[in-house]
Amino acid sequence: MKTISENRCFGGVQGVYTAASEACHCEMTFGLFLPEAARARPVPVLWYLSGLTCTHENAMVKAGAQAAAAHYGIALVFPDTSPRGEDVADDDAYDLGQGAGFYVNATQDPWAQNYRMWDYVCAELPALIGAEFAVDLDRQAITGHSMGGHGALTIAMANPDRFASVSAFAPIANPSKSDWGRKQLGAYLGADEAAWARHDSTLQMQAVGFDGPILIDQGGSDQFLDLLRPEALAQAMAARRQEAAFRMQKGYDHSYFFVSSFMEDHVAFHAEALGA
């Protein structure tokens, strides 16, 4: 692991690091905020998964999460959204390839060699962070925005013993029924839609739900609302009697102005679940 930068931030340290990834067969970069409390003891972890076209840096700089995380004594992890490099497969479109990993393990060429973001986020990066930093991996929560909200919800429902809580900002909530999903899941996983189900939070909510609290914020003026299909997930949560809050925020769009407006709420929500 190499240190790219470390900056003092709300009494703690906002770092950027890179390490060779066995899962993705390339160098992967991630951001990690450690609060001052980590000097005394291992601290709980909140994962933030970013959306299409983003890197580790977008949320790290724009989401405004560090102040609340410092207050509650929580570490923040900002993974990248895909493998990167000259030898990594890419596409001319913004919504496929580099910057658009969709948090799946690709099985189709040319993506299968590198695009194993599920393994990277669920196994490899937690092991690295647990070995190198003062974090308590017995207390984890996860959140994300757009494509990252999709990833947060599906990863949490597949790993209920790992995450105390999950939240999302404008998640791609029903990708198997949306143009933001069918294209990517088909490219990465193939034409058999049965293989897509574990990566559709609406279908997973119907099948298994989540043994913990969920918070979802959706902008009422989101320019991508029809692609996100939040109503499908809301209906699935209601039908399952899931412990959850779904909030339609009037006038807000899909941008980081929306995310930063409600980030403090989300960190507080996870802090309560984590006992922080």
- As annotated, the active-site residues are 146, 222, 254
CA distances from 167 to 47, 141, 218 (A): 10, 8, 11
How many Cβ atoms from other residues are within 10 Å of residue 192's Cβ?
A: 9
Where b means 16+ CB within 10 Å and e means fewer, 53-82 reads ebbbebbbebbbbbebbbbbbbbbbbbbbb
115 CA to centre of own chain = 16
Q: Which residues contact 161 (CB under 8 A, 6 or more apart)?
A: none
Q: How far apart are CA 82 and CA 120, in angstroms?
A: 10
Q: Which of 50, 21, 67 is nearest to 259 (CA)?
A: 50
Q: Report which DSSP code applies to 36.
A: G
- Strands 163-169 vs 135-144: parallel, antiparallel or unpaired: parallel
Q: How far apart are CA 139 and CA 86, in angstroms?
A: 37
How many Cβ atoms from other residues are within 10 Å of residue 205's Cβ?
A: 27
Helix (H, G, I), strand (E, B) or coil at 104: coil
How many Cβ atoms from other residues are within 10 Å of residue 159's Cβ?
A: 15
